[in-house]
Amino acid sequence: MPLDQSFVGRSWPPTEPYLVGREKIREFARAIGATDAEFHDPAAARALGYTDVVAPPTFPVTITMAASREVVADPALGVDYSRVVHGDQRFAYKRPVVAGDALVCVNTVEEITSRGGHEFLTTRTDVTTEAGEPVVTVWSKLVVRGEG
Amino acid sequence: MTAELEPQTFRVTRADLVRYAGASGDFNPIHWSDRIATGVGLPGVIAHGMFTMALVGRAVTAWAGAPDAVVEFGVRFSRPVPVPDTDEGTEVVVTATVKEITDEGHTRLSLTATCNGDKVLSMAQALVRKR
């Protein structure tokens, strides 16, 4: 079943705020082996002008992947998740995510294409603070592999 | 004006994938179950694409010399990174070439990541700010 093209250009309402915890950033930094002091030590991050520890560059995907489930898991869109592989991933940052941020995600389906029997779904997630300050924009392209 | 930066090598074991799954919330079983990974046609358990990208991000922030220097960062996942169930696991090697200095003074890096000699990313690049 092809993906529903009428989803292209559609945006979803803002998600409930995700409160970024200091220990979550530390846990993520440890999991990727990132030892920079600013990921672990609030004093080091304050020396760079931040209010608390900063997150490594790929940390936002832990928030946006969960947030974009509302799009990808919508049965009307028609994604068979057992056939999904991650195609592309891109981030454009205004600033790093900082512990204490309350982040809101707005998902948009940017593009649906097909090539060689596979389908490609590009979502954009605009991540802002609750007050509306832009933090990072995250694009994910999922490949839905064709059958056979 | 092409500068090659010092390559960086990262070891990846099954324990790393388990830790990353927990920290990131990505519990897709192809990253921890050989049974399920081979069942969908993979050679075995593979690394999360986002784990590989995170290692590349470590290399980029190390080259930039600041944890908050990355302005843009994008990759295409072109091949899986199989991670055998051994103490050694596998290795991912990250290289970077300076492509240009933009009008804003940012540095554009062209990136590669290889595993067993295969390129596992394509079209990978980062834009970094000088502090």
* φ/ψ of residue A46, rounded to 5: -65, -30
Domain that holds residue B101: 3-12+48-128
Number of structural domains chain B divides into: 1
Domain annotation covers residue B39: no
Quickly list H helices, B5-126. Answer: 14-24, 34-39, 49-64
Domain annotation covers residue B25: no
Residue B1's pLDDT is 46
CATH code, domain with B119:
3.10.129.10
Domain annotation covers residue B84: yes
Choose from B30, B58, B81, B131 for mutation: most chain A CBs within 10 A.
Answer: B58
| Residue A42, number of CB atoms within 10 A of its CB | 18
Per the CB < 8 Å rule, is B23 touching A28?
yes
Domain annotation covers residue B118: yes
User: Residue type for B101, please?
Assistant: I
ipTM: 0.96
Which numeric CATH code is attached to A5-21+58-144?
A: 3.10.129.10
What length does chain A have? 148
Per-residue pLDDT of chain A (148 residues; tens, 9 = 90+): 689 999 999 999 999 999 999 999 999 999 999 999 999 999 999 999 999 999 999 999 999 999 999 999 999 999 988 788 899 999 999 999 999 999 999 999 999 999 999 999 999 999 999 999 999 999 999 999 887 5
Residue A145's pLDDT is 85
User: Chain B: nearest CA to A88, how far in angstroms?
Assistant: 4
Closest CA to B51 of B85, B32, B74, B24: B24
Domain boundaries, chain A: 5-21+58-144
Domain annotation covers residue B114: yes
Contacts B70 to A, Cβ<8 Å = 57, 91, 93
Whole-angstrom CA distances from A9 to A4, A96, B89 are 12, 27, 42
Contacts A85 to B, Cβ<8 Å = 77
Interatomic CA distance for residues A97 and A94, integer angstroms: 9
Residue A82's pLDDT is 79
